[in-house]
Amino acid sequence: MLQQFYRDLIDEERDLSEQNRTTVLKAALLAFSNMAPNEKNHWLLEANKKR
């Protein structure tokens, strides 16, 4: 289960984009997959801070 922080982020993007949660998550994963390795590492470290 995602923490409330992440659910709120997804819902905010869902509302702004008028897409559903699944589409927002797919877009985020596609963006992540296209990042440079050092940028991915940065965001993986940031995600660990938001537990």
Distances from the Cα of 3 to the Cα of 6, 22, 27, 33, 39, angstroms: 6, 17, 19, 22, 23
Q: CB under 8 Å to 5, separation ≥6 — which residues?
A: 50
| Residue 50 near residue 3, CB atoms below 8 Å | yes
* 13-48 pLDDT per residue, tens: 999 999 999 999 999 999 999 999 999 999 999 999
Radius of gyration of the chain from Cα atoms? 12
pLDDT at 11 over 90: yes
pLDDT at 10 over 90: yes
> What's the pLDDT score for residue 50?
74
Q: Position of tokens 């923490």? A: 3
Q: Taking the domains of the chain in order of start, what are their residue ranges?
A: 4-49
Q: Report the length, in residues, of the chain.
A: 51
pLDDT at 1 over 90: no
